[in-house]
Amino acid sequence: MTEEDDSDRYRAPALDKGLDILELLSGIDGGLTQAEIAKHLGRSPNEFYRMLDRLVRRGYVTRLEGDRYSLTLKLFGLAQLHAPVRRLASYATPLMRDLAVLSKQANQLSVFDRGAAVVIAQQEAPDYWGISIRVGSHISLFNTGSGHVLLAFRSEDERAMMIAEYENHADDIAQPQDFKERLDHIRERGYEIMPSAQTAGVFNISAPILGPDGRSIAALTCPYIKLLNIADAPDVDQAREMLVATAKKLSELAGADVIHSSVPRQG
């Protein structure tokens, strides 16, 4: 039996059809109609109706206005659970520890995962006082520094999909006014700094971990509190400079080794 015969023996036409659709849509901005998908793949439109319906119901594809189909970020979310992101957390740990010691503050690393910002690593403050968030916590995209940074360093289409997925799970939190303008401003200055919407007296300082293509793959955040009992404790601006420098180092690590296979590239 030849190698070609052996590959035909184990064919799964339905699976191939679904993967063909996903691979096609991954390189298309704005989506495609069912007829356009069929034309690209050289098949009849009727062959794809059931497959598209299942992909929509499972959350891998979304149906846009005008009967166009577009890839969601579910595959990206699944990729966040893959080894490259786990390696990012392990690479980040010593740098996050150094940041905590220098800033006297806690910090955490978050990624976007299937409609939520999720904390994947956390470092406690070195002294008695600090604000920390448990690993595995799901936090808001709309009113946290981590959420803002994860959205700001993404394309317009990706932002829209991330927000849509988030709103499906957290419809009790309204999108702020002028949110797009705020995200654009964060992107321009390279970080977010804002009063915490959850805890009085805390400032969220967040900066992006960027992949090789300049898109956010994670957010590094310090929930800054003013320490009155430590004479040489850095102020909020000094803590921001330290956090941005640490995020830049992590971005360099991500570009060199960590994330190449976990972030889908635009076509």
CATH code of residue 25:
1.10.10.10
Residues 230-236: contacts with CB under 8 Å, at least 24 apart: 230/104, 230/127, 233/104, 234/102, 234/103, 234/104, 234/105, 236/193, 236/203, 236/205
**Does any domain span residue 211?**
yes
Domain membership of residue 18 as a residue range? 3-72
* Tens-place pLDDT, residues 143-197: 999 999 999 999 888 888 888 888 877 666 778 889 999 999 999 999 999 998 8
Q: Are residues 136 and 60 in the same domain?
A: no
Which residues does 90 contact at the CB level (< 8 Å), separation at least 6? none
Residue 35: count of CB within 10 angstroms of its CB: 12
Buried/exposed 9-32: b ≥16 CB within 10 Å, e otherwise: eeeeeeeebbebbeebbeebeebb
Rounded CA gap, 80 and 90, in Å? 14
**Does any domain span residue 187?**
yes
Q: Which residues of the chain have pLDDT under 70?
A: 1-10, 76-86, 170-172, 255-267
Q: Are residues 117 and 87 in the same domain?
A: yes
**Does any domain span residue 16?**
yes
Q: Are residues 117 and 62 in the same domain?
A: no
Domain count, the chain: 2
Q: Are residues 171 and 52 in the same domain?
A: no
- Report helix, strand or coil for 158: helix
**Does any domain span residue 264?**
no
**Does any domain span residue 267?**
no
Q: Are residues 172 and 86 in the same domain?
A: yes
Q: Are residues 95 and 141 in the same domain?
A: yes
**Does any domain span residue 151?**
yes
Q: Are residues 43 and 101 in the same domain?
A: no
Q: Are residues 97 and 17 in the same domain?
A: no
Contact 47, 38 (CB under 8 A): yes
Given this model, what pLDDT does residue 135 score? 85
Given this model, what pLDDT does residue 228 score? 77
Q: Are residues 161 and 213 in the same domain?
A: yes
Q: Are residues 157 and 233 in the same domain?
A: yes
Q: Are residues 38 and 136 in the same domain?
A: no
216-224 sheet: strands from edge to edge: 138-139, 117-123, 107-112, 216-224, 203-210, 192-195
**Does any domain span residue 265?**
no
> Which tokens hold the place of 58?
């499972």
Last residue of a domain, one of 44, 72, 100: 72
Q: Are residues 136 and 30 in the same domain?
A: no
Last residue of a domain, one of 19, 53, 72: 72
Last residue of a domain, one of 39, 72, 105: 72
**Does any domain span residue 134?**
yes
Contact 263, 79 (CB under 8 A): yes
